[in-house]
Amino acid sequence: MHCLLLCAFLFVPQSASGKLFPSQEEHAHGSGVVELEDTSLIAVWYQGSGERRANDVRLLGSRLPDSESGWSAPFPMADTPGLPDCNPTLFVDAEGRLYLFWVVIAANRWEQAVLKYRRADEPLGAGEPDWSWQDTIHLVPGEAFARGVEEGFRELAVTEHLWAAYAPRYSSQLIEAARDPVKRQCGWMTRVHPVLRSDGRILLPLYSDGFNLGLMALGEADGESWRALGPIVSPGGVQPSPVPLGEGRWIAFLRDNGPAPHRMLRSSSTDDGLTWSVAIDTPVPNSGSSVEAISLPDGRIALALNDLERGRYRLSLFLSSDEGKTWPDRRVVAHDPRERHSYSYPSLILASDGRLHLTYSHSGPEGETIAHAVLEP
C-alpha cells in the first residue's frame, strides 16, 4: 500500500494503480524514463526469470503519449539471444535523438558485462523505436585509472574487512586489479541517466561490481566515440548520479555497497567531470540501493532514493537548496511499514511542464511491475 504525504510536493497519480503494467510473476527491475520532443514519455526496464544468471532476461519498454491515454502495452527494446540484457538507461540528445544504454552479461557475471548502446534518430510514434544505429562501447581506462584507484584508497585508508569480486583483501587487491588492462576494461555497467555537459558532450555514469566503484565516460556530441575518465573511489560506492553545479563544478551521489554506517556517498569534480574526489559518507541513509539526483532550473537538486539503512520498503524524494549539503524538504513517495512491498531503483526526470516524473521497481506478494509517480516541486 502506498502512503502519500502531501506537503512540499504535490503528488499527482497518473492512474489508479500508478503502474506501467499489471504486477506479474517475472522479475521486472531497473527502469529508466525520458521525455521525447513531443512531450510523450518512454520507459525501459529489464524483465525475465532472474537477473544476470537468467539468459531469458530482455529489455522491454512502454510509452505514455499523454496523461489521459495511460501507458502502452510493453514492447521489446533489446534482446540478445542466450544472454541477459540488464541495467538500461535512456538519454535524449540536443537533436531529439533517443539513446538506449544497457549491458549484456557475458558468462552470467556482472564483472563481465559488455556495454552496449543504440540510437533512434526518429523516436516518436508507437511501440519500439526504429533503431537506426547500434554499437558496443569499448572503454580503455589506462594507467591514470590505476593511479587514481591507488591514490584514492591511500587517501581513504580503507581497512581490509571488505569484499569485492576481484578483492577478498579489499583495497590492496583492487589496486592490483586496476593495474591489469583486462580487468579494468571489462564490466562497466550503466544505471542512471547520462547528463549533457555545457559543451555538448555526454557524461555517462558507470560502475563496476568487480571493482565496487564508479567511473565516468565522456561521449562526443554525436555519441559515436567514448573515453574513460577518472574513477570515483570509495569503500563500496557505486551507481553514481552526477549533477552539474555550473562553472565546471559537479557533484555525484552514490549508492552505498560498503560497510556500516549505510549512507549515501558524495563525490565532487571541479574540472567538468574529468576527475573526481574520493566519495565519502553523507548523513543521508541508504540501504545499498540505487539513487538518482537531478538539477532543477531554480538551482535546487531533487533526489530519489530508499532513505533507509535496511530494506527497500520506503522510497522518498528529497530537495536541497544548498548543493546537496542538506535536504530539508522530504516526501515519501511509496511506503509499506509491514515491509511486504519493495520500491527501489528510481529513475527521475524533470519534464518540460516543470513536473518531476519518477519510475521505480515495485515488487510484492502479487508480483512485480514498474511504477510511475508525478510530483510538482
Report pLDDT digits (tens) over 174-194: 999 999 999 999 999 999 999
pLDDT value at position 159? 60
Angle between the N-to-C axes of helices 143-156 and 170-178, in degrees from 0 to 180, rounded to the nearest 10: 160
Residue 351 has pLDDT above 70, yes or no: yes
Map grid coordinates 539468459 to a residue: 55
CATH numbers and ranges of domains, the chain: 10-376 (2.120.10.10)
Q: For the chain, what is the radius of gyration of the CA atoms?
A: 19
d(CA 153, CA 86): 29
Model-level pTM?
A: 0.93
Percent of the chain with pLDDT over 70: 93
User: Residue 246: what residue type?
Assistant: G
Q: What number is the average pLDDT over the span 56-68?
A: 94
4 against 100, higher pLDDT: 100
Residue 34's closest CA among 125, 79, 96, 80?
A: 96
Residue 5 has pLDDT above 60, yes or no: no
The three cell numbers of residue 299 are 538551482
Collapse the DSSP code of 144 into the 3-class scheme (helix H, G, I; strand E, B; otherwise coil) and give the result: helix
Phi-psi region of 311 (alpha: psi -120 to 50; beta: other; left: phi over 0): left
139 against 9, higher pLDDT: 139
Q: What number is the average pLDDT over the span 192-203?
A: 96
Least confident range from 7-21, 134-148, 260-274, 281-295: namely: 7-21
Pairing of strands 113-120, 133-136: antiparallel
Residue 8 has pLDDT above 60, yes or no: no
How confident is the prediction for the chain on average, in pLDDT?
Answer: 93
pLDDT value at position 139? 97
d(CA 68, CA 155): 53
